Amino acid sequence: MIPVIEKRTLVKTAVFLQACRREETAYTPIWLMRQAGRYMPEYQAIRAQYGMLEVMQTPELAAEVTLQPINAFGLDAAIIFSDILPPLIGMGLDLEFVKGEGPLIHNPVTSTADIERLRTPSAAEHMQPTLDAIRLAAAELTPRGIPLIGFCGAPFTLASYAIEGGGSKNYAKTKALMYTEPAAWDQLMRKLATVQADYLLAQVEAGASALQAFDSWAGLALGVKDYVKYIQPYNKLLFEKAAQAGAPTINFSTGTAAYLGEVAACGGDVIGVDWRLPLDVAWAKIGYDRAIQGNLDPVALLTPWPVLKEKVDDVLARANGRAGHIFNLGHGIFPNVPVDNVRRLVDYVHEATG
């Protein structure tokens, strides 16, 4: 096995990591959220044989799926194949991925007693298969100079799944608990931040070169005052601890255009933004002391090339060659995206900026 220190030196000059550090790059790096997934026939072939949790919990399969988009396209970073929800299993929740529907938690958190009962295991205790998958994937990627991104869900997004038991339209149960039981909310968010921070540190130890926290639902659920009161302290805790890993951190959220400054105040070397604000407007709100990741509308990948190209050109024009732009979508890639559009997008971003 390659020692971790040597791994870091090998990928240190990768354009993706340079952009995270806001250094000048030879071209704009690109990776795509959910880049390993159902739009790829190679992924579908694996999923035809194995369940979602089975793929994530079998290191060889998770590593293989992680590499699929890297082998198919000239992407500048890989992201370890897992999901934000498996760490909830170790905390005591019974998670299932229901075919065609998405995640379901059979024993959601409904009371303060449930919150008290939630365990806070170390990553080594409950996420070992993913840490092993990171070791396997990094061993393949490092000689190719491609960094591997580790990730976790941010506390609010995980709390919403833990409380609602699955996806939600209005987050009513989550917000009811948040508003009426502040002490229980504090305990829940602290437990989630602690478990996720430990998991992030362990991922870097296993070979990840950068870390992303997904706060996918925060902005869809809460206005700025609630965000500052009920989310910000715990995201700060998460990013403060994650910074100890010495790897760049990416703070991604959606629906937070109205309060990107407050999002950035939580921490993160890179702020991941959705498509709701033009990239230049978002960057000005965040501040140029941070790198930015985004922000092509994922729907653009379903349109013919001339339409797609115009939207890509717009993102690049707004980044205007400023050091610290990582090209990505504003949210995850859709399952019905044509593979050729992904190839064309990746090649075009490199050609147009190189």
Q: What's the min distance (Å) between Cβ of 174 and ligand CP3?
A: 14
Instruction: Return the residue of 10, 17, 36, 105 that touches ligand CP3, per CB under 6 A.
Output: 36
Helix, strand, or coil (residue 111):
coil
Distance of CA 292 to the CA centre of its chain: 14
Closest to ligand CP3 by CB, 79 vs 148, is 79
Task: Collect all residues with Cβ–Cβ distance below 8 Å to 161 and sequence separation of at least 6.
Answer: 85, 88, 103, 105, 153, 167
Instruction: Determine if 171 is a binding residue for ligand CP3 (CB under 6 A).
Output: no
Instruction: Determine if 81 is a binding residue for ligand CP3 (CB under 6 A).
Output: yes
Instruction: Return the residue of 41, 74, 167, 261 that touches ligand CP3, per CB under 6 A.
Output: 167
Binding segment (CB under 6 A) for ligand CP3, from list 82-90, 194-202, 223-231, 267-275: 82-90
Phi, psi at residue 326, to the nearest 5°?
Answer: -110, 120
Instruction: Return the residue of 10, 11, 14, 33 that touches ligand CP3, per CB under 6 A.
Output: 33
Contacts of range 50-55, beta carbons closer than 8 Å, 24 or more positions apart: 51/97, 52/83, 52/97, 53/86, 53/95, 53/96, 53/97, 55/81
Tell me how far apart the alpha carbons of residues 11 and 145 are, in angstroms, rounded to a whole number.
5
* 83 is an active site residue: yes
Tokens encoding 235: 């995201």
Q: According to CB under 6 A, which residues from 43 to 72 bind ligand CP3?
A: 47, 52
Instruction: Return the residue of 41, 51, 74, 102 that touches ligand CP3, per CB under 6 A.
Output: 102
Task: Give the CA distances from residue 100 to residues 38, 52, 103, 158, 268, in Å, rounded to whole numbers and listed in that order.
Answer: 12, 11, 10, 21, 34
Instruction: Determine if 299 is a binding residue for ligand CP3 (CB under 6 A).
Output: no
Q: According to CB under 6 A, which residues from 146 to 165 bind ligand CP3?
A: 151
Binding segment (CB under 6 A) for ligand CP3, from list 30-38, 132-140, 271-279, 342-350: 30-38
Strands 210-215 and 148-153: parallel
Residues 72, 343 contacting (CB under 8 angstroms):
yes
Closest to ligand CP3 by CB, 94 vs 310, is 94
Active-site residues, by number, are: 34, 38, 47, 83, 161
Q: Which residues bind ligand CP3 (CB under 6 A)?
A: 33-38, 47, 52, 79, 81-85, 97, 102-103, 151, 167, 214, 216, 331-332
